[in-house]
């Protein structure tokens, strides 16, 4: 099943069911008005939403209309809890090697950080940022969105609580990152709002690519129409279940909790590229002694997309420009 949230003048928008080919949508208002409420009442809502999805895919949904991603908010426009991981250890290894870093992380312990969940951006919304000197970067990631997860859930138990997956660009301002890391707490100015693809999907939509707690598909990234990378999710060093279990060790996770993978990163980077500028710049330092790829400048356009095993777009695309703040 595929779900999206359309603009309706409110912060939480209107939940709609979207056809598998992303061409059509139909309001879910008579079942549940918002994504957050659907997640909180999933056992009741999901069978009715699934039935509506099947009718829509057969072309028989009353009130169906053409789906326009430009009218979409983030699938879950705001989250009570958003936590990001660094589940691809290859990325950290590259950064450590390039910049002679020493990160003391116990073996087998995932890196997680609390993030802001009150201002997610839509897929086609221009992204304003204050200064080019902030060194604007992007990170292609997937997020799992959960139902309630009980405290102390095992990896397998926690994984069963995943209800949806979403594709997002975890925007980073590298000019602030080193300073905030050195202060010993978390990121604030280094990590502004994230931007999401228009559609969230249930795990069954992934087919055989949902395996071992990982989404084993390429995440395609382009910059100004040129290929930047297509790393695959199979190389996550921690599964979604392991990450959620670690997070839930001593706390309950509420319905609508969102957990990101961290930037997709593969060992075969020479062939598959990267999903963030910092990694490419680090690889340039390793090979040439200094970086040459610039950070984002005003007017640039980024696109993120993931295709299923049949070559069809799973989540729709993030396709947005980065621009000066409007005065």
Q: What is the reported pLDDT for 104?
A: 73
pTM of the predicted model as reported, rounded to 2 decimal places: 0.96
Instruction: Spell out where the chain has E strands.
Output: 2-6, 14-18, 24-27, 65-66, 82-85, 112-115, 127-128, 136-137, 140-146, 162-169, 172-173, 195-196, 200-201, 210-211, 214-215, 220-223, 226-229, 258-260, 301-305, 318-323
Q: How many domains, in total, are found in the chain?
A: 2
Does 88 lie in the same domain as 60?
no
Q: What is the reported pLDDT for 39?
A: 98
Does 236 lie in the same domain as 127?
yes
Domain-embedded: residue 113: yes
Digit-coded pLDDT (tens) for 178-188: 898 888 888 88
Determine the Cα angle at 132 with ends 126 and 133, to 5°.
150
Does 186 lie in the same domain as 310?
yes
Digit-coded pLDDT (tens) for 168-218: 999 999 998 889 888 888 888 999 999 999 999 999 999 999 999 999 999
Query: What residues in the chain have per-residue pLDDT under 70?
Result: 327
Domain-embedded: residue 77: no
Does 115 lie in the same domain as 253?
yes
CATH number for the domain that contains residue 175: 3.90.850.10
Q: What is the reported pLDDT for 100?
A: 79
d(C-alpha 261, C-alpha 217), whole Å = 13
Going from the C-alpha of 68 to that of each of 103, 132, 244, the distances in angstroms are 44, 31, 33
Q: What is the reported pLDDT for 327?
A: 59
Q: What is the reported pLDDT for 326?
A: 87
Does 141 lie in the same domain as 113?
yes
Containing domain of residue 163, as a range? 82-323
Does 94 lie in the same domain as 14?
no
Cβ atoms of residues 2 and 20 within 8 Å: yes
Does 109 lie in the same domain as 240?
yes
Does 168 lie in the same domain as 309?
yes
């Amino acid at each position: 099943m595929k779900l999206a949230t359309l603009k309706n003048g409110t912060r939480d928008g209107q939940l709609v069911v979207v056809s598998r080919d992303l061409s059509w949508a139909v309001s879910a208002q008579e079942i549940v008005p918002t994504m957050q409420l659907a997640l909180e009442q999933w056992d009741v809502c999901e069978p009715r939403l699934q039935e509506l999805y099947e009718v829509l895919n057969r072309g028989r949904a009353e009130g169906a209309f053409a789906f326009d991603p430009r009218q979409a908010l983030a699938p879950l426009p705001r989250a009570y809890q958003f936590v990001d991981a660094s589940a691809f250890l290859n990325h950290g290894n590259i950064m450590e090697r390039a910049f002679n870093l020493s990160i003391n992380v116990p073996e087998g312990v995932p890196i997680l950080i609390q993030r802001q969940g009150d201002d997610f951006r839509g897929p086609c919304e221009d992204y304003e940022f204050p200064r080019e000197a902030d060194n604007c970067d992007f990170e292609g990631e997937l997020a799992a969105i959960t139902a309630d997860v009980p405290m102390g859930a095992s990896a397998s138990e926690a994984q069963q609580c995943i209800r949806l997956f979403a594709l997002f660009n975890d925007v980073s301002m590298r000019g602030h990152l080193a300073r905030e890391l050195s202060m010993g707490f978390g990121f604030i100015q280094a990590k502004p709002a994230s931007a999401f693809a228009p559609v969230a999907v249930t795990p069954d939509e992934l087919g055989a690519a949902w395996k071992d707690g990982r989404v084993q598909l390429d995440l395609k990234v382009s910059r100004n129409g040129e290929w930047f990378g297509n790393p695959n999710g199979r190389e996550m060093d921690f599964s979604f279940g392991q990450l959620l279990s670690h997070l839930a060790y001593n706390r309950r996770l509420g319905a609508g909790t969102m957990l990101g993978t961290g930037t997709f990163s593969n060992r075969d980077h020479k062939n598959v590229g990267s999903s963030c500028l910092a990694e490419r710049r680090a690889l340039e330092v390793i090979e040439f002694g200094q970086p040459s790829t610039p950070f984002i400048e005003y007017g640039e356009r980024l696109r993120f997309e993931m295709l299923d095993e049949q070559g069809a777009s799973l989540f729709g695309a993030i396709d947005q420009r980065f621009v000066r703040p409007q005065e």
